[in-house]
Copies of this chain bind each other. A is one copy, B any other.
């Protein structure tokens, strides 16, 4: 018998991988003079405004790799790194392809994969998500990205697009994410939703509120806990 939500689609940055810790560690190793915690937070803080320029039409369709690079170029002078060469900037920008999974992610996904089809559903571009999965061992069945739909979450085209790809009604797809706004937008499109607690998404100095929202179908501590709750 099929489970009620055969297809699970996952937010990635913060939900499956630890962007803050991964960027902080790389920046600390490469540039020990920099406040790596503040650097990681500032880079990520540029993410929503950059996507908003695409969503509003101010900027034509632009991949996340290129948005990350634009934000990075703007940040470097503030952190005393204006002297970085083109090659150094390219290498640093690709840190988003090298993010490490949360400790429960690979095992949790491997369990979930036994009964569900697992897809990314990220604003990250396809190449970034594939390189990340290859390096981290994330066992996706399919890489879905805003790039496929040429629209950034929370645009409904992304959530509806995931259901259309599999030719199923939206309630047979569940978004798994650590962000209530992403889940709310998916729910408005008819998807089931699972919230994952990631209290340390922004680092130990900035613990995040992970209170449940009763509107979600599931609330799980991490991906192993979700697998357990779903009977995998």
Q: Interface of A with B (CB < 8 Å)? A: 65, 117, 119, 125-127, 129-131, 133-134, 141-144, 147-148, 165-167
Q: Is B141 within 8 A of A133, CB to CB?
A: yes
Q: Is B148 within 8 A of A141, CB to CB?
A: no
Q: Is B133 within 8 A of A167, CB to CB?
A: no
> Which of chain B's residues have a CB closer than 8 A to the CB of A117?
130-131, 134
Q: Is B126 within 8 A of A148, CB to CB?
A: yes
Partner of A126, one of B134, B147, B165: B165
A129 to B143, CA, bound (A): 12
Question: How many whole Å from A140's CB to the nearest CB in chain B?
Answer: 8
- 10 inter-chain pairs at a CB distance below 8 angstroms, sorted by A residue, are A117-B134, A125-B165, A127-B166, A129-B142, A130-B141, A131-B166, A134-B141, A141-B143, A142-B143, A147-B148
A166 to B134, CA, bound (A): 13
Contacts A125-B165, A129-B142, A148-B148 known; list 19 others, CB within 8 Å: A65-B167, A117-B130, A117-B131, A119-B130, A126-B142, A126-B144, A126-B148, A127-B165, A127-B166, A127-B167, A130-B141, A130-B142, A130-B165, A131-B166, A133-B141, A134-B141, A141-B143, A142-B143, A143-B143
A129 to B144, CA, bound (A): 13
- Give the oligomeric copy count: 2
> Which of chain B's residues have a CB closer than 8 A to the CB of A119?
130
Question: How many whole Å from A138's CB to the nearest CB in chain B?
Answer: 10
Closest partner residue, chain B, to A94 (CB atom):
B167
> Which of chain B's residues have a CB closer than 8 A to the CB of A167?
65, 127
Question: How many whole Å from A124's CB to the nearest CB in chain B?
Answer: 12
